[in-house]
Amino acid sequence: MTQHQIIVKLAKKRWISPLDAFLNGGGMKLSTRVGELRKSGYTILSKWHKSKEYKLYKCVGVPK
């Protein structure tokens, strides 16, 4: 599985953090991978964690 596939699989289920992505094989640069996924047509929501130190991501739409 590629990093993109791992991130999409996780983010379809729940909000994910950079640590979630790293621990599950999605790489160390979640925000970069999310940007690439958005450019390829995925709809990914983001919100700041309550600590305001990092963002959480959730995939809500896939490209047609």
In the chain, the amino acid numbered 17 is S
- Residue whose pair of structure tokens reads 């983010």 in the numeric block: 11
Q: Give the pLDDT confidence score for residue 9 in this predicted structure.
A: 97
Annotated domain spans of the chain: 3-61
Give the pLDDT of the chain (64 residues) as one tens digit per residue.
999 999 999 999 999 999 999 999 999 999 999 999 999 999 999 999 999 999 999 999 998 7
Q: How far apart are CA 31 and CA 54, in angstroms?
A: 10
* CB atoms near residue 55 (< 10 Å): 17
